[in-house]
């Protein structure tokens, strides 16, 4: 009997990269597709290349057999599909074994990485060499890929907040197995290629972000140096009516302290409480936290209606000047404004450990959260944001074990729209999210993160119990309504869950038709990640 295309491809991959790198057993395939939603794709195998050469062999065999591939860096895309492909029957290409830091230039401040290099690995690399650079951290945790985040056009809160803006060079395997590289390198300018983003001729590196045109095997990113001082600031709004004033104040701070202030977050009371208080487990199915209980939780933890957080980076004089601006712009708006350094918060956290009883536990909770937040602002990888995924579902990992929301049974979708930094539109957006979440009996947890002085990205975690079909239905209805109603009001997410790519793609759109024409030219057989931000 003749083998099927996938059976033949698997046998060829086993010969090309080794049987141990081609995973086909059912338990491993099931684990690879674990997600924070009910989605479970059907995949025939997981391929684990150890080098760019392996990737080229994998792609050539896929092109010969017509078996589609779906590459993942470390597969920790929680809330957006984890490692699941956009379509069934794709062979998953797990790049997490490609963990080499290929080049590092301390003088010029850049590093070239493979896709499996994580935030923690880069942090350890810097620590071993005693060099002072900030890791481009995110809330997704220490074990997440730097390349994967940049290719999704992700962001953080350190000075280079837009992570793709720091990418100076991409190297990728194209769908025919050939190599894409920068024209500067090909012309003999390998050194300057790592230092200059735009190259020469048409700028094509961006085509590999949020797309399906190739498999990126290495990337060079520019690094932010650790400044003389990192000072975090936190402020609170006692009344919801001050939100519009705070939006304008944040905009002025970003304008007047450009280069010194990183991103600024605004978080509603629900969102902050999810970081410091357990979810009230006694609530009945589908019941939202009552207003009086929410107020009691907030008083206990000194959490205001809105909390702002940001950081200042620079030498002593720069930071001192920026602090004066922050104080001036928030005067009369914020009911509380405090500045902390990582060092003094760490000290307060240790001192809180010596306070007995309930007061001590409360102080440890508050200062422990501040300590982790400041470390993240200072470019140290942290798991501080991951307990959020477990607020309503999932089993937190035992001490010493890493958080893994997909493995641990958490239910999470991320709604992450872009919001103009204008007071009226921010109010419109917040009102919309609160109404839709409550209508669907989902707790409204809202964060606004400044991407510039003109634009926020908001992240709203839709938390649910994946074992409860009714709760799953509520979450999915909430996600869909937020997307549809939000886009009608001009609030469109900057990235998509793998299940919802079709919500973004319009066959009649000139943009998506152009993207499809490029896909057809580069990948006519549709080998790479079919349907990922694409008509094909």
Q: What is the pLDDT of residue 337?
A: 96
Enumerate the β-bridge partners of residue 501.
none
Answer yes or no: is pLDDT of 225 > 80: yes
* Token digits of residue 148: 């994967």
State whether residue 423 is helix, strand or coil. Answer: helix
Span 120-148, pLDDT tens digits: 999 999 999 999 999 999 989 999 999 99
In the prediction, which pLDDT does 356 show? 58
- Alpha helix ranges (H) inside 2-154: 5-17, 26-32, 52-65, 119-129, 146-151
Q: Average pLDDT, whole number, for the chain?
A: 93
The pTM of the full predicted model, rounded to 2 decimals, is 0.94
Give pLDDT tens digits for 94-119: 999 999 999 999 999 999 999 999 99
pLDDT number for residue 95:
98
What pLDDT sits at residue 65?
97
Mean pLDDT of 166-175: 97
pLDDT at 347: 58
- The candidate with the shortest Cα–Cα distance to 153, out of 234, 207, 215, is 207
d(CA 29, CA 286): 33
Task: Answer for the pair 96, 145: CB distance below 8 angstroms, yes or no.
Answer: yes
pLDDT in tens, 378-398: 889 998 899 999 999 999 999
Confidence of residue 193 (pLDDT cuts 50, 70, 90): very high
Buried b (16+ CB within 10 A) or exposed e, 308-346: bbbbbbbeeebbeebbebbeebbeebbeebebbebeebb
| pLDDT value for 350 | 64
**236, β-bridge pairs:** 307, 336
* 412 has pLDDT over 70: yes
- Of 43-57, 288-302, 320-334, 338-352, least confident by mean pLDDT is 338-352
Where do we find the tokens 């962001």? 155
Note the pLDDT tens digit of each residue in 314-357. Answer: 999 999 999 999 999 999 999 999 998 876 666 556 655 655 55
Residue 168 near residue 190, CB atoms below 8 Å: no
**pLDDT attached to residue 353:** 61
pLDDT at position 1: 46
Q: What is the pLDDT of residue 3?
A: 84
Strands (E), 114-187: 133-134, 167-173, 179-180
> Nearest 5°: CA angle at 63, between 62 and 67?
45
Q: Is 26 exposed, middle or buried (0-12, 13-18, 19+ CB in 10 A)?
A: exposed
Instruction: Select from 461, 235, 221 the least CA-distant residue to 330.
Output: 235
> How far is the C-alpha of 419 from the C-alpha of 425, rounded, in Å?
7
The beta strand positions in 55-116, using DSSP E, are 69-72, 91-94, 101-105, 110-113
Q: Measuring CA to CA, which residue among 489, 399, 480, 390 is closest to residue 439?
A: 480
Which pLDDT value is given to residue 130? 96
Residue 358, pLDDT above cutoff 80: no
pLDDT of residue 360: 53
Interatomic CA distance for residues 234 and 238, integer angstroms:
13
**pLDDT above 50 (res 407):** yes
Give tens-digit pLDDT for 476-534: 999 999 999 999 999 999 999 999 999 999 999 999 999 999 999 999 999 999 999 99
Which pLDDT belongs to residue 341?
A: 81
Asked if 34 and 407 count as a contact pair (C-beta separation under 8 A), the reply is yes
Residues 6+ apart with CB under 8 A from 378: 134, 226, 230, 311, 342
Share of residues in the chain with pLDDT > 90 (%): 85
Quick check: 359 pLDDT over 60?
A: no
Helices (H) and strands (E) in the chain, counts: 17, 19
Q: What are the CA-CA distances from residue 71 to residues 7, 47, 84, 144, 266 (Å)?
A: 19, 9, 10, 15, 34
Bridge partners (DSSP) of residue 162 are 155
Query: Tell me: the pLDDT tens digits for 432-471?
Result: 999 999 999 999 999 999 999 999 999 999 999 999 999 9
Stretch 2-21: mean pLDDT, rounded? 96
């Amino acid at each position: 009997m003749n083998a099927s295309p996938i059976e033949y491809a698997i046998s060829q991959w086993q010969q090309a990269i080794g049987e141990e790198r081609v995973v086909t057993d059912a338990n491993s395939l099931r684990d690879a597709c674990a997600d924070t939603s009910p989605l479970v794709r059907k995949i025939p195998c997981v391929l684990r290349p150890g080098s760019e050469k392996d990737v080229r062999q994998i792609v050539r065999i896929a092109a010969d057999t017509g078996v589609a591939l779906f590459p993942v860096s470390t597969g920790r895309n929680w809330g957006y599909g984890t490692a699941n492909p956009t379509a069934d029957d794709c062979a998953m290409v797990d790049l997490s074994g490609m963990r080499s830091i290929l080049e590092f230039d301390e003088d010029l401040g850049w590093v070239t990485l493979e896709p499996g290099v994580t935030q923690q690995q880069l942090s350890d690399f810097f620590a071993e060499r005693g060099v002072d650079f900030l890791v481009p951290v995110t809330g997704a945790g220490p074990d997440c890929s730097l390349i994967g985040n940049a290719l999704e056009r992700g962001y953080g809160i350190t000075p280079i907040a837009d992570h793709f803006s720091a990418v100076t060079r991409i190297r990728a395997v194209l769908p025919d197995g050939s190599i894409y590289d920068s024209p500067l390198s090909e012309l003999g300018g390998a050194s300057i290629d790592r230092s200059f983003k735009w190259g020469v001729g048409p700028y094509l590196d961006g085509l590999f972000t949020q797309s399906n045109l190739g498999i990126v095997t290495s990337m060079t990113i520019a690094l932010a140096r650790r400044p003389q001082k990192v000072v975090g600031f936190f402020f609170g709004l006692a009344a919801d009516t001050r939100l519009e004033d705070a939006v304008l104040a944040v905009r002025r701070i970003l304008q007047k302290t450009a280069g010194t202030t990183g991103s600024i977050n605004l978080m509603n009371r629900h969102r902050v409480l999810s970081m410091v208080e357990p979810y009230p487990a006694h609530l009945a199915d589908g019941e939202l936290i009552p207003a009086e209980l929410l107020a009691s939780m907030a008083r206990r933890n000194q959490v205001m209606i809105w909390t702002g957080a940001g950081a200042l980076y620079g030498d002593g004089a720069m930071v001192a000047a920026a602090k004066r601006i922050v104080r001036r712009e928030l005067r009369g708006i914020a009911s509380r404004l405090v500045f902390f350094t990582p060092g003094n918060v760490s000290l307060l956290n240790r001192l809180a450990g010596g306070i007995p009883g309930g007061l001590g536990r409360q102080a440890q909770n508050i200062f422990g959260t501040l300590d982790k937040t400041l470390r993240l602002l200072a470019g140290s990888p942290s798991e501080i944001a991951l307990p959020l995924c477990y607020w309503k579902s999932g089993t937190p990992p035992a001490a010493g074990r890493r958080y893994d929301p997909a493995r641990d049974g958490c239910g999470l979708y991320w709604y992450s729209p872009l919001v103009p930094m204008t007071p009226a539109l921010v109010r419109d957006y917040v009102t919309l999210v609160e109404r839709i979440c409550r209508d669907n009996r989902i707790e409204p947890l809202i964060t606004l993160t400044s991407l510039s002085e003109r634009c926020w990205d908001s992240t709203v975690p839709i938390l649910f119990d994946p074992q409860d079909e009714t709760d799953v239905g509520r979450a999915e209805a909430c996600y869909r309504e937020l997307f549809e109603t939000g886009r009608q009001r001009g609030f469109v997410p900057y990235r998509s869950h793998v299940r919802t790519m079709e919500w973004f793609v319009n066959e009649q759109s000139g943009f998506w038709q152009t993207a499809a024409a490029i896909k057809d030219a580069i990948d006519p057989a549709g080998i790479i990640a079919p349907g990922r931000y694409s008509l094909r």
